[in-house]
Amino acid sequence: MSQMDQIMSCQISFIPLKNSNVNASVDQIIELIKKSNLDYRIGMMSTELRGNRELILELINTLLDYATENTQFILDVRFSNQCGLAKNV
């Protein structure tokens, strides 16, 4: 399997800093994730993604672009080529 076709899982935690409207920032990140066409599962502390490696990386760049323009933040990202979501997310 080429790297372009590789299915990965990814866990993302977005933490806005010094932001008076934390919920709005988190909600916008969630909307960007929903529009990504990746499988996802939103949790209380993080969101899990599953899909094509390149599509996940594109989404991470989109999230970074949004966050950099709108708030100070921490974006914690973990990748795995072994752990994954159930395909019926």
Task: Render pLDDT for 27-49 as a digit per residue (tens, 0 to 9).
Answer: 999 999 999 999 999 999 999 99
**88 domain-assigned:** no
* Token pair of 9 as six digits: 């899982």
> What are the pLDDT tens digits along the chain (89 aa)?
555 568 999 999 999 998 788 889 999 999 999 999 999 999 999 999 999 999 999 999 999 999 999 999 999 999 998 876 455 44
Stretch (H or E) spanning 59: helix 53-70
Query: CA–CA separation, 89 vs 84, rounded Å?
Result: 11
Residue 23 lies in a domain: yes
3-state SS, residue 45: coil
- Number of domains, the chain: 1
Q: Which domain holds residue 75?
A: 8-80
**Domain membership flag for residue 65:** yes
Helices 53-70 + 22-34 axis angle, to 10: 150
C-alpha neighbours within 13 Å on the C-beta side of residue 47: 22
**CATH number of 47's domain:** 3.30.70.930
Position 86 in a domain:
no
